[in-house]
Structure 1
Amino acid sequence: MMNRRRLIQAMSALPFGASLPGLGHAQAIAGLPALKAGYAQRLKKILAAGELPYIDMESSCNSTKVDIDFVAKNMDRLNIGLMALSADIGHGEFKKGVRYDNLSEKLLASYPDRFIPIGNGGQPPALTEAPDEFLDAQEAAIAKQQIMCLGEFEFRHYPSPRQAKRGAGNDRDVRVPIDGPAGHRVFGLSEKTGAAFQLHYEIEDELLVPLEKMLAQYPKAKVIWCHLAQIRYIERTSRYTPAYVDGLIKRFPNLYFDTAFGDSASVYPLSNQRHARIWASDGGLVSEWRDLLAAHPRRFLSALDLGGDRMDRMVSYDQKHRYFLKCLPADIQHQVAYRNAWSLLFNEEFA
């Protein structure tokens, strides 16, 4: 692995915005060649040890509470290659005027070969109380070459299982019209800059048509729809099937899906339903979903969905994700684990 001091020295020696040919938005990141070299060296070292690294494209935290050393040490212990760990701006920080949290800068300063510089999570209050101010700050971060991609934007979000069990009320029962002003701003920002963004959008019949219209209107926007086949109320969803997702993939070449979902026993408390619909009753993958992954192996991304209230669960989340990866053919395991994220970030194949 590249010596951390040498890597930081290499980054600081590069001109701001140093670039590699044909990388799209990613070419603007300051010190990118050194970052990219460190990322590749880390992935190759894990592969050489006979382990499968993966790139976690969707996790978030409270930057005031996260233990960066704890996360980095667990990444080493678990052979996690890279992590796009975004900062969620809480209500307290938001009231103090925070619109951009520079967690990525701190992560790169400590562990430049592990973390992908990413924007902040678009959850309440960011996207609900002051979306223009928040998005102005994210766009400025892109312009200043501070981030490679955008965080998870919550347009439709039910309370999480943990919040439901805690009786946290409607704090995360979010409904922001995806075809409203904020949605157009996010899709347009991705299309203009080439930066991918993560989309949290619950799967309901009434929500699918507006999303399809936005994907058609912004064909160059790079969208990572989080939580493949995570359906929390099956009675609200009749259209979303492997065949439907297959149709989306064929129509929209810049649409990706991450594979952060619960295990086969995971139950959503508010509906009392097992909501990770990708799992069969025997604990394996439903054949139609497995066939979809096999038919479009380049459109799915590894993700853990670690959050501020569950950073201590890295081991169990890693075990569950690795079980999912092992359910795939060997070549597709590598594609989903790290090759697709590398291609999305750098516009080139991992070599």
Structure 2
Amino acid sequence: MNRRRFITTFGAFTVAAGLPRFAMGQAASLDVPSLKAGYALRLKKLLAAGALPYIDIESSCNSTKIDVQAVAKAMDELNIGLMALSADIGKNRFADGVRYDDLSQRLLASFPDRFIPIGNGGQPPALTDAPGEFLDAQEQAARDGKILLLGEYEFRHYPSPRQAKREPEERDVDIPLDGLEGHRLFRLSEATGLPFQIHYEIEDVLLPTLEKMLAQYPGARVVWCHLAQVRYLERASRYSPTYVEGLIQRFPGLCFDTAFGDGASVYPPSGQKHARIWNGEALKKEWRDLIVAHPRRFLSALDLGQDRMHRMHEYDAKHRRFLAQLPEEVRHQVAWRNAWRLMFGEEFG
């Protein structure tokens, strides 16, 4: 089922004064046409002012601690176009029975032209403690027309650099991508047309399973997060721009986001610089050539998280250094055009 048909089937839309709102009732569906109009107006204003807006397709937060006003203000200061800010359900709230956090609805109520309604983050304890209940809730939100994207799902995730310094075993997630949860997620994407994101470490032993799932579900729309982020180089002998290009050619529903560390970022457990796309502060030619050759398959992302929301300016500067090294037309494709097409199934404008 394509995206437009899904919206028509499951969404109840209302249009008032050109602003997005929710239809009254149990499902509270999105008014997608008005949402698009507000997004387009913001992007066009930024472009007309000579700025390069981008759409952050992958950030997350603790919804009980987020300062929405501060985030919106920073987005304006930094000329960030839109943000898909997903709510992670922490251990305490998950233990209290929360399976869907309606942060997106609250964000749209305050800033309907900045935030993209997105499902919750599939990180511990969501997919580890009660995956069936969590996926039930995300599927219900999708079928009620509350979201335009599913969240980021962690199937293989090493502790982040900060977590590794605190506790080596923290957030060391290993869920089979071809297990019950993976099959259900891929099927949900095919059935609804909604894209989803996966955190899936780049390792030789994991790649065949990913390829198998992409082949089995050709209609699934998958964003593989963190292009060329390799924590342990010795475990990823197959991965290269040539390998990624092969995936692009074989699997039209696969995209990659460009949230990765800078050229000096080191992963503490391995002691390696894990953003393999850099040669110092310059993009490696082979990775730049790949993006230029396939500009429609890469997406802007900041990967802000609940312990680093205060670092928006730093992450923005890092991402813009990456974008600045791309040719102008490619830069705009990666920055915002591709995310627009991913969400709405059409070109901008």
* TM-score clears 0.5: yes
Q: Secondary structure at the match of 2:319?
A: helix
Q: CA deviation at 1:171?
A: 2.5
Q: Which runs of 5+ in 2 are unaligned?
A: 1-14
- Residue 20 (structure 2) aligns with: 11
Between the aligned residues of both structures, percent identity stands at 68
Q: CA deviation at 1:164?
A: 1.1
Q: How far apart, CA to CA, are the structure 2 residues paired with 1:63 and 1:129?
A: 20
Q: How far apart, CA to CA, are the structure 1 residues paired with 2:19 and 2:204?
A: 50
Q: Does the CA contact (< 8 Å) of 1:8 and 1:112 recur in 2?
A: no
Q: Which runs of 5+ in 1 are unaligned?
A: 1-5, 17-27
Structure 2-normalised TM-score?
Answer: 0.93
Q: Does the CA contact (< 8 Å) of 1:265 and 1:274 recur in 2?
A: yes
- Residue 184 (structure 1) aligns with: 183
User: Structure 1 residues 14 and 153, CA, compared in 2 at 3 Å: closer, same or farther?
Assistant: closer
- Residue 25 (structure 1) aligns with: none
Say what the alpha-carbon RMSD is for the aligned residues: 1.7
- Residue 32 (structure 2) aligns with: 32
Q: How far apart, CA to CA, are the structure 1 residues paired with 2:82 and 2:171?
A: 28
Q: How far apart, CA to CA, are the structure 2 residues paired with 1:330 and 1:7?
A: 36
User: Structure 1 residues 49 and 174, CA, compared in 2 at 3 Å: closer, same or farther?
Assistant: same
The alignment covers a number of residue pairs equal to 334
User: Structure 1 residues 233 and 7, CA, compared in 2 at 3 Å: closer, same or farther?
Assistant: farther
Q: Secondary structure at the match of 2:306?
A: coil
- Residue 73 (structure 1) aligns with: 73
Structure 1-normalised TM-score?
Answer: 0.92
1:268 pairs with 2:267: yes
- Residue 322 (structure 1) aligns with: 320
What amino acid is aligned across from residue 182 of structure 2 in structure 1?
Answer: G
The structure 2 residue matched to 1:287, chosen from 285, 288, 298, is: 285
- Residue 147 (structure 2) aligns with: 147
- Residue 19 (structure 1) aligns with: none
Q: Secondary structure at the match of 1:150?
A: coil
Q: Does the CA contact (< 8 Å) of 1:230 and 1:276 recur in 2?
A: yes
Q: CA deviation at 1:168?
A: 2.4
Q: Does the CA contact (< 8 Å) of 1:222 and 1:254 recur in 2?
A: yes
> Once the two structures are superposed, what CA deviation does each residue of 1:127-147 show, in whole Å capped at 9, x if it has no partner?
011110000000000111111
Q: How far apart, CA to CA, are the structure 1 residues paired with 2:24 and 2:170?
A: 44
Q: How far apart, CA to CA, are the structure 1 residues paired with 2:226 and 2:322?
A: 13
Q: Secondary structure at the match of 2:151?
A: strand
Q: Secondary structure at the match of 1:137?
A: helix
Q: Does the CA contact (< 8 Å) of 1:205 and 1:236 recur in 2?
A: yes
1:338 pairs with 2:346: no
- Residue 159 (structure 2) aligns with: 159
> Once the two structures are superposed, what CA deviation does each residue of 1:141-170 show, in whole Å capped at 9, x if it has no partner?
0111111110000000000011112x2242
Q: How far apart, CA to CA, are the structure 2 residues paired with 1:137 and 1:103?
A: 14
Q: How far apart, CA to CA, are the structure 2 residues paired with 1:93 and 1:106?
A: 18
